[in-house]
Amino acid sequence: MKRSTFKVLFFLKRDKQKANGMIPLFCRITVDGQEARFGMKCDVNLAYWDVKTGKAIGRTVEASKINTLVDNTKAAIYRIYREIQERENYVTAEKIKNVFLGIEQKHQTILALFDCHNKERKVQIGVTLSKTTYEKYCITRQRVADFLVYKYNMNDISVKEVNRQFVSDFETYLFMQHNYSPNTVVTLLKKFRHIIELALNKEWIYRNPFNEHKLQWQKTDRGYLTQTEIKTLINSQFDDLFLERACDIFIFCAFTGLAYTDIKHLTHDKIISSFDGKIWIRGKRKKTDIEYNIPLLNIPEMILEKYKGKTKNDLVLPVCNINSYNKRLKKIAEICKIRKKFSSHLARHSFQSFSLQASKLQERNS
């Protein structure tokens, strides 16, 4: 256990001397070079104060009262120091002062901290935070709340009680009770870890229960569509307008390599003609803020033309929310008899697999 450099000193604050010559008595606590001080609500005559010993001089009743106050205060502060050192292994002068004065930080609860964080993050959606990321924090908060009821029959818990065992049990709960995949569990635990780090920054806790808890993604093969399967999608006809739109958006992603969120926010000003007459898509990826320059092939160009003048807010394509989009993609896979797990990610992976041959495919369909 690491020992701190700890001192307690009593002194007269001479710059606060009163008209009657009396000077306020102060206490200064020093831990590892950091100080915290507070007034003792007691005035002392400078002539009767020993700076070296930090006590009043003489055998008067007043001197005795002052020295008793000093001794009792010092003993209490040392006791508080030892208790914090044993409990948390991390002590600050400010924390000792707050405990002594009875203004110690109230026990902060984990769900209250989640709520405060999520409320602040909600206003950042579309500015510095994606809606998807915000929703993951909300899901994590709900899962922690569910776990507290399941494991402890509690509606909330002090942040200080979230230890290594709590994190380990919560991880097991996510696997066993919700049947999440390993990577989904890692995603939720990382969001939970961020909340714990906020508590550390606020000095509500002094140990991170995630320090020795490894969070590691598992490599997964999301697969990709073959050129034949892509061609099947291109040639398919749908009676449902919403399925038709979802298919067009998927094909557009497959031929451009853009992610769902980039397509959703794609506006006409990002479609640019170069000096040689070729059309390019230029912008920045929402997730990484990295610039991209993508040549527009015939098939995605025809899709853009199809929806020209049929969208709002200068958007290029009529993109629905991600949940509806993924549900429609699954329906499309059933109709086209493609036995692969369809999702928004599959289009990007398909692009990577056949980008070198994409121009040949689009020529055959032009």
The pLDDT of residue 244 is 94
Query: Rounded distance, CA 248 to CA 308, Å?
Result: 13
Pick the last residue of a domain from 52, 73, 101: 101
Binned at pLDDT 50, 70 and 90, residue 130 comes out as: confident
Is position 216 within any domain? no
Q: What are phi and psi of 288, to 5 degrees?
A: -110, -15
Which of 201, 217, 251 terminates a domain? The answer is 201
Query: Cα 122 from chain centroid?
Result: 12
Q: Specify the pLDDT at position 359.
A: 47
The pLDDT of residue 356 is: 47
Find out whether 352 and 224 touch, Cβ atoms under 8 Å: yes
Residue 220: pLDDT band (50, 70, 90) is low
Tokens of 89: 């292994």
Q: How many CB atoms lie within 10 A of CB 353?
A: 17
Q: Is the pLDDT of residue 127 over 90?
A: no
Let me know the angle formed at the C-alpha of 66 by 63 and 71, rounded to the nearest 5 degrees: 120
**Domain extent for 332:** 227-364
Q: 299 and 360: one domain?
A: yes
Are 255 and 344 spatial neighbours (Cβ–Cβ below 8 Å)? no
> For the chain, what is the mean pLDDT?
86
Instruction: Please check whether residues 132 and 97 belong to one and the same domain.
Output: no
Half-sphere exposure of 278 (CA within 13 A, CB side): 9
Q: How confident is the model at residue 105 (pLDDT cuts 50, 70, 90)?
A: low
> 149 and 233, same structural domain?
no
Mean pLDDT of 335-363: 68
User: Residue 325 is inside which H or E element, if any?
Assistant: helix 322-335
- The pLDDT of residue 107: 60
User: At residue 365, what is the residue type?
Assistant: N
Burial class (CB in 10 A: 0-12, 13-18, 19+), 302: middle
Same domain, 97 and 118: no
Do 156 and 245 lie in a common domain?
A: no
Last residue of a domain, one of 77, 101, 125: 101
The residues facing 337 across adjacent strands are none
Flag whether 177 is in a domain. yes
Give 164-191 pLDDT, tens digit per residue.
999 999 999 999 999 888 889 999 999 9
Same domain, 231 and 326: yes
Q: What secondary structure does DSSP assign to 8-53, as a single string? A: EEEEE-GGG--TTSEEEEEEEEEETTEEEEEEEEEEEEGGGEETTT
* Whether residues 359 and 231 fall in one domain: yes
With beta carbons less than 8 A apart as the criterion, state whether 185 and 171 touch: yes
The mean pLDDT of 30-45, rounded to a whole number, is 92
CA distances 215 to 71, 184, 191, 197, 267, Å, are: 50, 11, 11, 15, 37
What residue type is assigned to position 124 of the chain? Answer: Q
Is the domain of 266 the same as that of 239? Answer: yes
pLDDT tens for each residue of 298-307? 898 999 999 9
Give phi and psi for 304, each to the nearest 5.
Answer: -60, -40
Note whether 149 and 95 are same-domain residues: no
Answer yes or no: is 245 within a domain.
yes
What share of the chain in percent tops pLDDT 70? Answer: 91
Give the H or E element holding residue 7. strand 6-12
Residue 218 maps to a domain: no
What's the confidence (pLDDT) of residue 4?
A: 66
Mark whether 232 and 359 lie in a shared domain: yes
CA distance 103 to 95: 9
pLDDT tens per residue, range 52-102: 999 999 889 999 999 999 999 999 999 999 988 887 667 888 889 988 987
Q: Is the model's pLDDT at 290 over the cut of 90?
A: no
- On the question of pLDDT at 25 being above 70, the answer is yes
109 has pLDDT over 80:
yes
Question: Residue 319 is part of a domain; what is its CATH number?
Answer: 1.10.443.10
Total domains in the chain come to: 3
Look at residue 165 in the predicted model and tell me its pLDDT.
92
Please report which confidence band the pLDDT of residue 353 belongs to, taking 50, 70 and 90 as the band edges: low
Does 1 fall in a domain?
no
Residues 343 and 309 placed together within one structural domain of the fold: yes
> What's residue 113's pLDDT?
93
* Residue 315 located in a structural domain: yes
* Residue 342 pLDDT grade (very low, low, confident, very high; cuts 50, 70, 90): confident
Looking at the fold, whether 253 and 290 belong to one and the same domain comes out as: yes
Q: Is the pTM of this model over 0.85?
A: no
